[in-house]
Structures are given as structure tokens and as C-alpha cells.
Amino acid sequence: MQNYLSNCTYVTVNSQHPHHKEYLCQNTSYLRYWTGHDAKFLYMLFEYVCGGELFKYLREVGHFSSETTRFYASEIILALKYLHSLNIVYRDLKPENLLLDYSGHLKMTDFGFAKHVKDRTYSLCGTPEYLAPEILQGKGHNHAADWWTTGIIIYEMLVGRPPFYDENDNRLHIYQKIVSGDFDFPDEIVDENAKSIVRKFLRVNLNERLGSSKDSMYEILEHPWFSDICWSDVFQRKLKPPIIPNVQSDGDTCCYEQYFEQDWSEIPLSSVSSRNLFKEF
């Protein structure tokens, strides 16, 4: 927990990009306002993002068109590009961690697994279906793991499920499929450029994976699937989002499930040693 919160704090302080939930630029709709603690709790106060999770919209329609997928992929790619320029690896890209703001643009959230990495890191973390093979094999991983997961996300948006999954949710079977790198597209996926970029992201061999080398960002941005994309418009959020949340105001909660709040009043005080772990929080 200490590392998780420290990672959140580090990325929040150092990240200033329009597609990061915690970015600190002027036109953001989601700011990290404040952190603090008392004798019982740690507090992280964020501004509210009203549009809900991309996961929600994907499950409602089953899968997205190539055009819709390309829009969201372009915003994801620029967010990762910026994180990687700071030597930050995200490591938790999935539809549940992508939120839609009032206007329908993406916000990347939950930086608990993010880490500042100059060479490689060896910690095992992430969500099973989205883990890169080098993470599972303990070979050490870097920013290339995020590009693997970008391929997973693009595939999932196009098809409606991740490329490596098991109907019985058997993690061992999922991991075996990931390490082998074998997957297929359903016959109804006919966009060859979309299939091409997914296959290039999902290369088990790091030397062959799109985005793995320091100079390969150009190859991503210039891939034929993005031939109609103006990247400066993506960065400035000028493109019209394919999904506009049906909300009445920035404070509308209709895009989220309702949860009963727990009564935390009887929680005992934390120990002094526990509080000392977070005295800088």
C-alpha cells in the first residue's frame, strides 16, 4: 500500500498531460487537488470525472467500430508517449482505468502500478489478461510493456474481449497463451490496418514489438491505421469524440453504479508506526 500510494503521488506531481486524470494543465477536467492524513485515514481528493468508465460503454455495445477504436487508441498513445518521456511506465492499462470526461475525451486513471524506470524493473503487477510476456517471465520490463497492453486494448475494443483469455478464467491458461503470443481475429474484423498494428504491438520478441525501441514512436504515429489522424488535434482535444456521455452536468453520477457507503466512524486509530510510513503524504 505504501508503494502504491507513493507511485500515485509521484506520477501525479510529475505528469502534466490532457489525457492523464491527474494532469495539472489549465484545460483539465480532472485535477488532483489534495492529499493528507489524520490518525485514522489517508485522504486523496480528486475532481470528479462524470462520464464513467470506457469499460461501461464497451460492454453496452459489445465492441467498437474501427473508427471509434482509433479515436480512443490515439488518445491512449499520446498519454503513454508523454509518460514514457518522463521514464514512467504505466503498467495498468485496461478499459476500467480509462474514464470519459463531460465532453467524451479519455482520462487515464489509477497510477498505483506506475513506476519511474530508466532501464528495467522486475516487479510482477497488473491485471492477468493485460500482462506482457516479459512481466510473466520475470525477464525485466520497461515502457515496451505498455505498448503490448495498447495492442490488447485495441483488440478488445474491436472484438469485445482481450485476445488472451480463458472461458473458465484459468489464469495459468491465460498466461500460457500470453507467453506463446498466439491469437486470431474473428472473421468479421476486416480492417487490415487495425489488425496490422495490433499484431505489431503484440510481438512477444521485444526487438520486434512496435514501440519498444527509443526511436519507434515515429513508427506508431505514422502507422497506416492512423493515416487520417492529425496528432496535434488529438493532443489539443479538437477531434469530436464518438461517445458523448449522457450527463446533465459535471456532477452527474448517472454513469456510475450506486454503492452503499460504509460507516467508518468506528474504525480504530492507526498505530504510530503505521502513521509514520505516510508522514510525508
Domain ranges of the chain: 2-50+248-276, 54-235
Does pLDDT of 134 surpass 90?
Answer: yes
Which candidate, 211, 64, 223, 231, places its Cα nearest to that of 145?
A: 211
Contacts of 104 (CB under 8 A, 6+ apart): 51, 241, 242, 243, 244, 245
In this structure, of 60-69, 118-127, 135-144, the range with the lowest mean pLDDT score is 118-127
Which helix (H) or strand (E) segment is 196 a member of? helix 192-201
As given in the structure block, the three cell numbers for residue 244 are: 458523448
* DSSP count for the chain of H helices, then E strands: 10, 6
Mind telling me the catalytic residues?
A: 92
Cell numbers standing for residue 59: 460492454
In the chain, the percentage of residues whose pLDDT exceeds 90 is 60
The C-alpha atoms of residue 82 and residue 23 are separated, in whole angstroms, by 11
Read off the pLDDT band of 24 (50, 70, 90). very low
d(Cα 103, Cα 237) in Å, to the nearest integer?
Answer: 10
Q: How confident is residue 27, by pLDDT bands cut at 50, 70 and 90?
A: very low
Predicted confidence at residue 258, as pLDDT, reads 85
Task: Say yes or no: domain 54-235 is CATH 1.10.357.10.
Answer: no
Could you give the percent of the chain with pLDDT greater than 70? 87
**What's the grid cell of residue 215?**
526511436
CB atoms inside a 10 Å sphere around CB 215:
6
The pLDDT, as a whole number, for residue 216 is 83
Q: How far apart are CA 42 and CA 281, in angstroms?
A: 8
What whole-number distance in Å separates Cα of residue 70 and Cα of residue 72?
6
In the three-class reduction of DSSP (H, G, I as helix; E, B as strand; rest coil), residue 43 is classed as strand
* pTM summary value: 0.86
Phi, psi at 246, each rounded to 5°: -85, 75
pLDDT, mean of residues 36-40 = 79
243, β-bridge pairs: none
